Amino acid sequence: MSQIPFWTRFLGVPLVLLLSGAFALSRVKRGTLKLYLALLPTVFLLLCFNYYPAVKAFHTALYRYDIGGEATYIGLSNFKDILADRILHKSFANMIKLALFACAVSLVMPLIGAELIFHLKTERMRYFFRVLFVVPMVVPGIAVTLIWGNLYSDSGLVNRLLSAIGLSDWTRGWLSDPKTALVAVMFVGFPFVSGFPLLIYYAGLSNIPESLLDAAKIDGASAWATFRNIHLPMISGQFRVLAVLAIIGAAQGFESILILTRGGPGYTTMVPGYYMYENAFSFKKMGYACAIGLLLFLIMLAGTRFTLRFIRSTEEFTE
Amino acid sequence: MRLWRSLAFIALVLLAVLTFVPFMFLLVNSVKSIPQFYRNFWSPTLPVHFENYREAWAEVRPYIVNSLYVTTLTFIGVISLSSITAFTIARYRFPGRDAIFTFIIAILMVPGILTLVPSFMLFKDLGLLNTYWVMIIAYVSGGQAFAIFVLRTAFAAIPSDLFDSAQIDGAADWQRFWYIGIPLAQPVIGAVAIVNVLGTWNSFIWPLVTVSDDRKSVITKGLFTFASQYGQRYGAMFAGYIIASLPLLICFLLATRLFIRGMTSGAIKL
């Protein structure tokens, strides 16, 4: 490392801000200064702790940089390694499976829940069930995942249930059997109804204008026709949000993999996010990890754009 | 019609039951001793072993204290920074305002996975690993963007007349912010605060990566360690999970309506 302490690099940021501020001030009326001062802390923090790391990711991806060693510029070598990395191929395949499954269940199941609640007779009941389905959100995600790990264990609830109904042949260590590990990870959180998506759908359903629903009723539309022709088009905005959130979550989430399987057995449950984590914090290969992170970012960007375009077109179609 | 209604109700109750199976399992087994757990897996058993909770509490208390500390400071930081910034952007016109706002909310498009490694290196270079600050600074800086996004709309929705008349009466900028802006945006601020507290309390990967010192660890990492160390002592382990959920559960019971609104505030439509 050089003699100059690292933090001095940050002096540049307020300096640039001050200079540009002074420049702007020479041109605008007085009294605006305190407005810029009010925004300064926010802008300063974002520049240092959010934008700087984001830019740094692009930079580091071009280096071989093992923690404790020197950083060497290697151009696009990290990306060549990515193309040749078998484990990464496997993990991307897993990610796609997880993403498709997550997308399907997080779009469908909470909608069923929200519709069922929406059709309840009294507001009291509707409120009660909404509250009920939000309660699980206060349990830390890690605790929920750990409980599921326990349910799947050799003498856990799933196996005991199977034995109890006479299917003892099916019992296994669900997370340690290469054949079932990925599916077991997918089903963590079953029946996928609770929390955030349900509330989003419910908010969407309650925002449908009364007049539309009344008109459908007068025309004698069946429940299915009302759902198909009024509810679905009116909540397409919510679909977009949830689809995007599911894709982002599946592309970057690896908490449950880290807690339950650590990518194993073999690499049957390895996902790119966890592989990146391993490369950075177990193998100390920061450059390679940043390259994987960058690739994931681009995939998420593409996935999000594709979803938004795709769902908008169906929206126009149904209208 | 009647039949359909009953069927729908049964389906809803079934979904609720399935959702709560893991949590009921947790609750029932948190008061069992080890032999009770193996012998009577399905049913609640007597005597009830509340000492599991005492044991778990001794174990998780330091982590809970750390989590409370980090969550509180993050909450104060995010709410004060974001309400000042959001108010300034919503209620004043000045050159560069829209550019600054775009600059702030554009960070919402940068995912955590991209910045995890470089952020770690940054805080390592700053010598902040294994401190509370590595969590607080990162959460405040990252959390304010969404809060500003939501609060700006709330502040902009307050009728201008209120501010104009206050100005005519000689109220300074800070007085208009503090006596008009804050009280009128208070429900939204509450909702934003809840989303923020929920996120901070449950964050796991960042503390796992940046804080290896057990004395500074927060509850999520504490539970993880607890689970790997306790092995067969399920009762105490499950009691620990429940204790870890209590602060947020209390928060939830105190402000249910705010909580439900908070979950759906901001961008619920794209």
Of A41, A255, A277, the CB nearest to B81: A41
Q: Which residues on chain B are in Cβ contact (under 8 Å) with A119?
A: 5, 8
pLDDT tens column, A286-310 = 889 999 999 999 998 888 888 887 7
Tell me which long-range contacts B154-159 makes (C-beta under 8 A, separation of at least 24). Answer: B154/B86, B154/B185, B154/B188, B154/B189, B155/B86, B155/B87, B155/B90, B155/B91, B155/B181, B155/B185, B156/B90, B156/B91, B158/B184, B158/B185
Q: What is the pLDDT of residue A25?
A: 60
pLDDT tens for A186-223 read: 999 888 887 788 988 888 888 888 888 888 889 888 88
Tokens of A173: 């260590």
Give the mean model confidence (pLDDT) for residues A216-244: 86
Task: Flag the least confident range among A7-11, A73-77, A100-104.
Answer: A7-11
**How many Cα atoms within 13 Å fall on the side-chain side of residue B134?**
26
Domain borders along chain A are: 6-60, 82-318
Is the CA virtual torsion B71, B72, B75, B80 positive or negative?
negative
| Structure confidence at residue A285 as a pLDDT band (50, 70, 90) | confident
Measure in Å the smallest separation between the Cα of B249 and chain A Cα atoms.
Answer: 6
Q: Is B248 within 8 Å of A289 when comparing Cβ atoms? A: no
Closest Cβ–Cβ partner in A28, A255, A297 for B95: A28
Mean pLDDT of A6-22: 65
What ipTM does this complex have? 0.86
- Say which CATH topology domain A82-318 has: MetI-like fold (1.10.3720)
Q: CB-CB: which of B116, B241, B269 is closest to A238?
A: B269
Contacts of B138 (CB under 8 A, 6+ apart): A49, B119, B123, B206, B210
A175-188: average pLDDT? 89
Q: H or E stretch including A36?
A: helix A33-46
Which has more pLDDT, A115 or A238? Answer: A115
Q: Which chain A residues are closer than 8 Å to B8 by Cβ?
A: 116, 119
CB contact (8 A) between residue B26 and residue A147: yes
Nearest CA in chain A to B253: A135
Q: State how far residue B245 is from chain A, nearest Cα, in angstroms.
A: 5
CA distance B51 to chain A (A): 20
Ranges of chain B whose pLDDT falls below 50: 266-270
User: How far apart are the C-alpha atoms of A107 and B101, rounded to whole Å?
Assistant: 31
> What is the reported pLDDT for B268?
45
- The single-letter DSSP state of residue A219 is T
Task: Provide the pLDDT for residue B60.
Answer: 87
Taking Cα atoms as reference points, which of A35, A43, A40 lies closest to residue B173? A35
- pLDDT of amino acid B79: 95
**pLDDT confidence bin for A7, thresholds 50/70/90:** low
Closest CA to A295 of A124, A81, A150, A152: A81
Domain parsing of chain B, residue ranges: 49-264
| pLDDT for the residue A236 | 85
pLDDT at position A162, please?
87
Nearest in space to B181 (alpha carbons), one of B212, B204, B200, B153 = B153
Copy the structure tokens of residue B138: 């990162």
Choose among B94, B126, B140: nearest Cβ to A32: B94
Q: Is the pLDDT of residue A8 over 70?
A: no
Q: Are B269 and A240 in contact (CB under 8 A)?
A: yes
Give the DSSP letter string of B224-244. HHHHHHHTT-HHHHHHHHHHH
Distance from CA of B177 to the nearest CA of A (A): 12
The predicted model scores a pTM of 0.86
Which chain B residues have a beta carbon less than 8 Å from that of A28?
94-95
Contact assessment for residue B244 and residue B204, using Cβ atoms and an 8 Å cutoff = no
Cβ separation B260–A293 shorter than 8 A: no
pLDDT classification of A12: cutoffs 50, 70, 90: low
Q: Looking at residue A53, what is its pLDDT?
A: 92
| Distance to chain B for A194, nearest Cα, Å | 7
**Residues of A in Cβ contact (< 8 Å) with B245:** 138-140, 143
B223 contacts in A (CB within 8 Å)?
140, 142-143, 146
For the B49-264 domain, the top CATH level (class) is mainly alpha
Look at A136 and B20 and tell me if their CB atoms are within 8 Å: yes
The per-residue pLDDT for range B138-184, each reduced to its tens digit, is 999 999 998 998 899 888 888 888 888 888 988 888 888 899 888 88
> Looking at residue B267, what is its pLDDT?
41
B120/A45 Cβ within 8 A:
no
Cα(B32)–Cα(B37) distance, integer angstroms = 6
Q: In this predicted structure, what is the pLDDT of residue A139?
A: 87
Are A292 and A274 contacting, i.e. CB atoms less than 8 angstroms apart?
A: no
Give me the pLDDT at residue A93, please: 92
Higher pLDDT, A57 or B264: A57
Helix axes A286-318, B112-125, angle to 10 degrees: 150
**Nearest CA to CA, how far is A192 from chain B (Å)?**
8
Pull the structure tokens for residue B217: 């660890």
Residue whose C-alpha is closest to residue A38's, from B70, B196, B187, B104: B104
Flag if A252 and B112 touch (Cβ within 8 Å).
yes
